[in-house]
C-alpha cells in the first residue's frame, strides 16, 4: 500500500448510501450585482421538508463563499443560529416550510478553476456541472433538487452590455450610476448544475426555427465581436440538429429562445445549461481559412450533443452523479446517430470505434477502471470519462440493436413521457425500454454494474457431410479494481457468413424453417454459446461483430488471405475496414517482436498488395479509403502488449509506413494529383473525403524523405485556401529536418498569431513531432506569449498533446518527459484541479511498462503525492494509480 507523508485517502461517496434529501427547494430567486472587483449574490430560497422526513439540520453546500447575511422568514440570523465551515453552512433548527435569503460575495476574477462564476476575456460566465453552483451561493447542490429559477443580473452597461441567463427574458432596463439590469425566468424546474449566467461585451448572429407544431424559436449565438464571422456553420448545425431530433425522436424544443455563448476559457467542450448553452470557442468558431474539416465535424457533433440534452439530460435528468451515463451515454449515442446521418455511417462508425478502442479500452485496463454507473467516487469530476460517455453510448447502442429502431423509439417515447420533469436513474431508463417492448433486460443490466472489456473467443468448424457450420463463442472478462469476479454479459453479436464470391449466405439455425439473409444478431448470454447453421454449401468465411455490435475484444483466428478477402468483399463496410485493420495489427505486432529480438524487419507483400488494391480501386467513398489506408495508432497497438515498448512500436510503425510509401509511390502520387482541388472549399461529405484521401497520400509520400516531395508539400502549404490542406502539409513537414519546416512554422505563426484557436494547432503540431528534440521545443513553447497556463485549451494543445499523443518522445528512457509532466501537474493543480487531474491520468498505466520506465513514472506519482496541498481531483487518481 502507498505510504506518503502528506497523502490521506479522500472521503469516498458511495452509490449504496444514496438517500432522498430531507429538504426540497421549489423556487430560487437570484440577484447578481456584477463588478470587476467582486460580485454580490442574493438568493431567496423557498424550502420545505420532504413529507415524512424527520426534523434534521439543513446543510447547504458551499465553496469559497464569503457570507454576508442570512434571513429566515425575514428574521436576521446570527452566528449562534448556524454553523459555517469551508464546505457547508448548517442551520440546526428550521421549520417545515420557510424562506431563506442569503447574501454572499465572490471574486470571479481570481477563479482560475473555471468552476462556478468566473471571468473569460473580460466576460462573466459560469460552469456549474458537476458541483460548481456551490461556488456561487449556498445551496443543496445535487441533481435531484429541481427548482424553478428567476435570475436578475445588474452590471455596468458600458462594460457588460449583454446580460444572459436561463429561460425567457421578462424584464430589462436601466439603473442609476450607469448600471442596467435583465431579469430571466426559466419555467422548467432544473437542477443547479444547469444554471447559467453570461455577461459582457458580445456580438450575436440570430436566426429562427419553426418547430413541428408551428412555434417560432429565436436562435442566438453570442461571441466576441472579432469572431462574428465564424458562426454560420454552428447556426446551420443547430438548425439541422433541431429538425433531426423532431424527426427521429419526436422531441420538440420547449422555450421561445435558444442561446449559445462561446468562451475561450472552458474546462470542457460545452455545457447544456437550459436554454443557454456555454461552449468552448473551439466548438463554435469556424470558417475555411481557420478551421479544418475535423473541426467542422466536431462543431456539428457537439452542437447536436448539447441540443439533444434538452430532453436527454434537462427535461429528464440524473438523480445523482452515479447516473451520469444516463444523460451522457444516451446523448452521445444520439449525437453519433445525428453525425452518421450527415455523411458516411460507416466512416462515422469507424471513427467512434477507433476512439473507443484507443482510449476507453485503455481506461478499462487501468487503475481507474469503473462501470458506466460507478459504485463510488472521491471526486465526481474524475468520472467524466470515456467509460461513462463513449462506452455508455455503446451500451445504449446495444439496446437499440436488440429492440430495433421502432422498439427503441417506443421505449424512449415512454421514458420521456413517464419521467418528464424528474431526476431518475439508469434503471428507470432501461425499465422504460423493457415496458414499452415487453422485454427482459435483467442480465443486460450487468453492463451498468460491471467494469472491464469483455473478450470473445470465437472458432468455427465446417462439416461438409452435414453442410453445417458450427460457431462456438466463449466470453470472459478480466478482473478490475474492486471487481474480481464477472458474470457473463448479455452481448449482441452481429454476424454474417460469406461464400467464395463474398456474398452473404442465408443463415438458418436448427429448428428454424426459414433462413435469414444478410446480417444476423445472435444474443450471447452464457459463458459459452454454440450456434449451428444449417444448409451451408461450402466452408464459409465468418464476418463477426459487424458494425462493432458490442464493445468487446474479438479473438478470431483468420489467415492473412481470409482477412484480405474480407477487406475486398465483405458486404458490411465496417468489417471490410476491420479486416484490414486487424491484419495491420498482426503485421505490426510481428514487426515489434522482430525489433525487440534484434531481427531484421521483413516486408509483408500480401498486405502491401491489399492496400494497393484499395488505393487504386473504384471505391466511391474516399473517406472510407482514407481509413482503410490508415495504420492502427501506436496507442492502440500498446493495448496488445503485456509490457508496452514505445520505441519498438514506433520503429515498427515507421517501417511499415515507409515500405507502403516505397512500394506504392506511383499510386500515392497519382491519387494525390487526381484529387487536386479546383473548386472553392465546401463542407460536404464528398469534399471532406477527397481532401482526407489526398492528404493521406501526401503523408505517405513524405515518408520517402525526398527533397522534391518536401517542396511539393511546402507548395501545398503556401497555396492552400483552407485550413484542412494547410494543416495537413504543416503536420508532415514538422517531422522533418528540412528547411521548409522552419519556414512553414514561421509563416504560419506570423499569419495567425492573433487567433488563439489557430495557434492551438500550431502548438499541437510541434508537440507531436517525432523529432528527438521535441521536448526541448515544447519547453521553449511554454515560454511563448501564445501559451497560457490558465487556459485549458492551451494546456491540452501543448502539454497534453506531447504527453498523450507523442509516446516515443514522452516515454524516452531518460525520464525527462515524465519529470516535465510532473512539473506541470504541480503547477496546474492549485490553479485548475480538473485539468491537472486529466494530465496525471497519463501515468495510470505505469505498471505496464518496463522496469526502468516504471521506476521513473512511479517517482513522479510519489512526488505529486507528497506535496503538502493537493486537490482531491489529483489525489484520487494518484492513490488509485499507486495502490
Identified catalytic residue from 63, 131, 306, 434 = 306
Same domain, 118 and 191: yes
CA 404 vs CA 308, 392, 394, 426: distances in Å = 21, 18, 15, 20
Per-residue pLDDT, averaged over 265-287, amounts to: 98
Predicted pLDDT at 2: 47
Domain containing 58 — which CATH number?
2.60.40.1730
Per-residue pLDDT, averaged over 646-671, amounts to: 98
In a domain, 88, yes or no: yes
In a domain, 387, yes or no: yes
Same domain, 63 and 81: yes
Same domain, 80 and 131: yes
In a domain, 752, yes or no: no
Same domain, 76 and 193: yes
Same domain, 463 and 405: no
Predicted pLDDT at 1: 41
Domain containing 484 — which CATH number?
2.60.40.1840
Same domain, 97 and 114: yes
Summarised one tens digit per residue, pLDDT across range 98-119 is: 999 999 999 999 999 999 999 9
Is a pLDDT exceeding 70 seen at residue 692?
yes
Same domain, 160 and 135: yes
Domain containing 441 — which CATH number?
1.10.390.10
Q: What percent of the chain has pLDDT over 70?
A: 99
Is a pLDDT exceeding 80 seen at residue 269?
yes
Predicted pLDDT at 511: 87
Same domain, 116 and 91: yes
Is a pLDDT exceeding 70 seen at residue 3?
no
Task: Assign 8 a pLDDT band (cuts: 50, 70, 90).
Answer: low
Single out the residue of 556, 550, 561, 500 nearest to residue 521, CA to CA.
550
Residues 6+ apart with CB under 8 A from 670: none
Per-residue pLDDT, averaged over 733-751, amounts to: 98
In a domain, 206, yes or no: no
Summarised one tens digit per residue, pLDDT across range 428-467 is: 999 999 999 999 999 999 999 999 999 999 999 999 999 9
Same domain, 189 and 102: yes
CA distance 838 to 403: 36
Summarised one tens digit per residue, pLDDT across range 601-634 is: 999 999 999 999 999 999 999 999 999 999 999 9
CA distance 194 to 309: 11
Catalytic status, residue 63: no
Judge whether 577 and 350 are in contact, CB under 8 Å: yes
CA distance 835 to 821: 12
Predicted pLDDT at 510: 86
Long-range pairs of 840-847 with CB within 8 A, sequence gap ≥ 24: 840/864, 840/874, 840/877, 840/878, 840/881, 841/368, 841/877, 842/803, 842/804, 842/810, 843/818, 843/881, 844/363, 844/366, 844/367, 844/368, 844/877, 844/880, 844/881, 845/362, 845/365, 845/366, 845/644, 846/881
How many residues are present in the chain? 883
Please name every residue paired with 126 in a beta bridge, in sequence order, or none if there are none: 117
CA distance 522 to 517: 14
Domain that holds residue 333: 319-449
Instruction: Name residue, grid cell 492528404.
Output: 695
In a domain, 73, yes or no: yes
Instruction: Name residue, grid cell 472579432.
Output: 226
Query: Of 516, 550, 584, which residue sits at a domain end?
Result: 550
Is a pLDDT exceeding 70 seen at residue 225?
yes
Instruction: Name residue, grid cell 436488440.
Output: 402
In a domain, 603, yes or no: no
Query: Of 449, 468, 500, which residue sits at a domain end?
Result: 449
Alpha helices, DSSP H, located in 722-831: 723-733, 739-752, 756-767, 774-781, 792-795, 801-805, 807-810, 816-828
In a domain, 39, yes or no: yes
In a domain, 563, yes or no: no
Predicted pLDDT at 646: 98
Summarised one tens digit per residue, pLDDT across range 137-162 is: 999 999 999 999 999 999 999 999 99
Give 839's Cβ-side CA count (13 Å radius).
35
Question: In total, how many domains does the chain have?
Answer: 3
Same domain, 165 and 75: yes
Same domain, 171 and 111: yes
Query: Of 154, 177, 200, which residue sits at a domain end?
Result: 200
Same domain, 122 and 187: yes
Amino acid at each position: 500500500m502507498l505510504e506518503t507523508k502528506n497523502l490521506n485517502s479522500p472521503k469516498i461517496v458511495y452509490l449504496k448510501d444514496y438517500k432522498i434529501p430531507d429538504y426540497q427547494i421549489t423556487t430560487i430567486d437570484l440577484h447578481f450585482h456584477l463588478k470587476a472587483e467582486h460580485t454580490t449574490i442574493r438568493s431567496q430560497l423557498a424550502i420545505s421538508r420532504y413529507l415524512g422526513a424527520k426534523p434534521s439540520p439543513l446543510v447547504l453546500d458551499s465553496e469559497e463563499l464569503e457570507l454576508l447575511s442570512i434571513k429566515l422568514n425575514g428574521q436576521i440570523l446570527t452566528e449562534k443560529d448556524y454553523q459555517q465551515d469551508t464546505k457547508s453552512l448548517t442551520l440546526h433548527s428550521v421549520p417545515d416550510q420557510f424562506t431563506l435569503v442569503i447574501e454572499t460575495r465572490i471574486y470571479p476574477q481570481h477563479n482560475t478553476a473555471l468552476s462556478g462564476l468566473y471571468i473569460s476575456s473580460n466576460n462573466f460566465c459560469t460552469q456549474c456541472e458537476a458541483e460548481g453552483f456551490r461556488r456561487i451561493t449556498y445551496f443543496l447542490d445535487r441533481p435531484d433538487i429541481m427548482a424553478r429559477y428567476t435570475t436578475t443580473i445588474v452590471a455596468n452597461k458600458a462594460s457588460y452590455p449583454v446580460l444572459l441567463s436561463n429561460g425567457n427574458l421578462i424584464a430589462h432596463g436601466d439603473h442609476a450610476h450607469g448600471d442596467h439590469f435583465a431579469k430571466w425566468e426559466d419555467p422548467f424546474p432544473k437542477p443547479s448544475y444547469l444554471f447559467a449566467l453570461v455577461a459582457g461585451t458580445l456580438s450575436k448572429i440570430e436566426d429562427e426555427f419553426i418547430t413541428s407544431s408551428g412555434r417560432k424559436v429565436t436562435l442566438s449565438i453570442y461571441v466576441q465581436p472579432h469572431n462574428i464571422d465564424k458562426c454560420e456553420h454552428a447556426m446551420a448545425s443547430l438548425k439541422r440538429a433541431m429538425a433531426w431530433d423532431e424527426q427521429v425522436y419526436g422531441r420538440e424544443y420547449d422555450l421561445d429562445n435558444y442561446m449559445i455563448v462561446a468562451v475561450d476559457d472552458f474546462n470542457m467542450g460545452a455545457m447544456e445549461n437550459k436554454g443557454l448553452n456555454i461552449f468552448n470557442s473551439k466548438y463554435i468558431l469556424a470558417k475555411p481559412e481557420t478551421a479544418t474539416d475535423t473541426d467542422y465535424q466536431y462543431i456539428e457533433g457537439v452542437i447536436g450533443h448539447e441540443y439533444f440534452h434538452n430532453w436527454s439530460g434537462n427535461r429528464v435528468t440524473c438523480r445523482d452523479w452515479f447516473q451520469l451515463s444516463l444523460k451522457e451515454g444516451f446523448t452521445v449515442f444520439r449525437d453519433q446517430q445525428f453525425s452518421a446521418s450527415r455523411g458516411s455511417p460507416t466512416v462515422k462508425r469507424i471513427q467512434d470505434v477507433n476512439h473507443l478502442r484507443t482510449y476507453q479500452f485503455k481506461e478499462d485496463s487501468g487503475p481507474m477502471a469503473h462501470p458506466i454507473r460507478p459504485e463510488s467516487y472521491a471526486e465526481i469530476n474524475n468520472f467524466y470519462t470515456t467509460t461513462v460517455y463513449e462506452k455508455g453510448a455503446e451500451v445504449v447502442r446495444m439496446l437499440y440493436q436488440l429492440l430495433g429502431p421502432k422498439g427503441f423509439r417506443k421505449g424512449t417515447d415512454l421514458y420521456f413521457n413517464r419521467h418528464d420533469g424528474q431526476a431518475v436513474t439508469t434503471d428507470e431508463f432501461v425499465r422504460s425500454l423493457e415496458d414499452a417492448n415487453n422485454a427482459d433486460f435483467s442480465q443486460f443490466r450487468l453492463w451498468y454494474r460491471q467494469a472491464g472489456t469483455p473478450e470473445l473467443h470465437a472458432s468455427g468448424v465446417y462439416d461438409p457431410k452435414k453442410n453445417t457450420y458450427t460457431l462456438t463463442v466463449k466470453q470472459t472478462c478480466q478482473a478490475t479494481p474492486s471487481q474480481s469476479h464477472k458474470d457473463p454479459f448479455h452481448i449482441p453479436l452481429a454476424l454474417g457468413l460469406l461464400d467464395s464470391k463474398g456474398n452473404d449466405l442465408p443463415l438458418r439455425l436448427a429448428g428454424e424453417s426459414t433462413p435469414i439473409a444478410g446480417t444476423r444478431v445472435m444474443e450471447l448470454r452464457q459463458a459459452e454459446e454454440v450456434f449451428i447453421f444449417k444448409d451451408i454449401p461450402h466452408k464459409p468465411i465468418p464476418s463477426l461483430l459487424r458494425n462493432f455490435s458490442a464493445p468487446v475484444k474479438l479473438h478470431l483466428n483468420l489467415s492473412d488471405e481470409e482477412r484480405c478477402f474480407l477487406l475486398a468483399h465483405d458486404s458490411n463496410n465496417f468489417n471490410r475496414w476491420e479486416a484490414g485493420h486487424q491484419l495491420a495489427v498482426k503485421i505490426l505486432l510481428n514487426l515489434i517482436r522482430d525489433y525487440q529480438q534484434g531481427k531484421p524487419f521483413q516486408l509483408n507483400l500480401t498486405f502491401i498488395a491489399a492496400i494497393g488494391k484499395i488505393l487504386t480501386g473504384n471505391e466511391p467513398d474516399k473517406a472510407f479509403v482514407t481509413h482503410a489506408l490508415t495504420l492502427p495508432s501506436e496507442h492502440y497497438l500498446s493495448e496488445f502488449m503485456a509490457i508496452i515498448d514505445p520505441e519498438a512500436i514506433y520503429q515498427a510503425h515507421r517501417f511499415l509506413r515507409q515500405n507502403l510509401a516505397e512500394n506504392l509511390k506511383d499510386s500515392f502520387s497519382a491519387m494525390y494529383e487526381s484529387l487536386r482541388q479546383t473548386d472553392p472549399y465546401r463542407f460536404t461529405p464528398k469534399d471532406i473525403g477527397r481532401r482526407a484521401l489526398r492528404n493521406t497520400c501526401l503523408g505517405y509520400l513524405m515518408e520517402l524523405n525526398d527533397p522534391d516531395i518536401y517542396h511539393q508539400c511546402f507548395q501545398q502549404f503556401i497555396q492552400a485556401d483552407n485550413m484542412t490542406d494547410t494543416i495537413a502539409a504543416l503536420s508532415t513537414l514538422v517531422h522533418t529536418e528540412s528547411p521548409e519546416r522552419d519556414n512553414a512554422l514561421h509563416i504560419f505563426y506570423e499569419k495567425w498569431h492573433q487567433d488563439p484557436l489557430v495557434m492551438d494547432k500550431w502548438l499541437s503540431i510541434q508537440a507531436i513531432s517525432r523529432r528527438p528534440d521535441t521536448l526541448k521545443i515544447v519547453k521553449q513553447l511554454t515560454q511563448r506569449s501564445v501559451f497560457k497556463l490558465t487556459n485549458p485549451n492551451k494546456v491540452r494543445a501543448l502539454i497534453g498533446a506531447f504527453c498523450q499523443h507523442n509516446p516515443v518522445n514522452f516515454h524516452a528512457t531518460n525520464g525527462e518527459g515524465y519529470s516535465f509532466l510532473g512539473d506541470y501537474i504541480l503547477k496546474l493543480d492549485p490553479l485548475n484541479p480538473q485539468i491537472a487531474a486529466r494530465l496525471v491520468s497519463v501515468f495510470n498505466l505505469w505498471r505496464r511498462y518496463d522496469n526502468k520506465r516504471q521506476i521513473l513514472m512511479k517517482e513522479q506519482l510519489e512526488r505529486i503525492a507528497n506535496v503538502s496541498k493537493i486537490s482531491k481531483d489529483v489525489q484520487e487518481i494518484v492513490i488509485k494509480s499507486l495502490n
